[in-house]
Chains A and B, each alone.
Chain A
Amino acid sequence: EDQVTQSPEALRLQEGESSSLNCSYTVSGLRGLFWYRQDPGKGPEFLFTLYSAGEEKEKERLKATLTKKESFLHITAPKPEDSATYLCAVQGGNQAGTALIFGKGTTLSVSS
Chain B
Amino acid sequence: DTGVSQDPRHKITKRGQNVTFRCDPISEHNRLYWYRQTLGQGPEFLTYFQNEAQLEKSRLLSDRFSAERPKGSFSTLEIQRTEQGDSAMYLCASSLKGLGSTDTQYFGPGTRLTVL
Contact = CB atoms under 8 A, between A and B. Distances in A.
Interface of A: 4, 31-32, 34, 36, 41-46, 49, 87, 89, 91, 95-105
Interface residues of B, number: 29
Interface in B73-109: 91, 93, 95, 97, 102-109
Interface of B: 4, 6, 31, 33, 35, 40-45, 48, 55-56, 58, 91, 93, 95, 97, 102-110, 112
Contact of B56 (A49, A96, A103): A96
Contacts of A42: 109-110
Nearest to A103: B42
Contacts, number: 67
B58 A99 contact: yes
17 contacts: A32-B103, A32-B104, A36-B107, A42-B109, A42-B110, A43-B6, A44-B43, A44-B107, A95-B56, A97-B48, A98-B48, A98-B56, A98-B95, A100-B35, A102-B44, A103-B42, A104-B40
Contacts of B103: 31-32, 91, 98
B43 A100 contact: yes
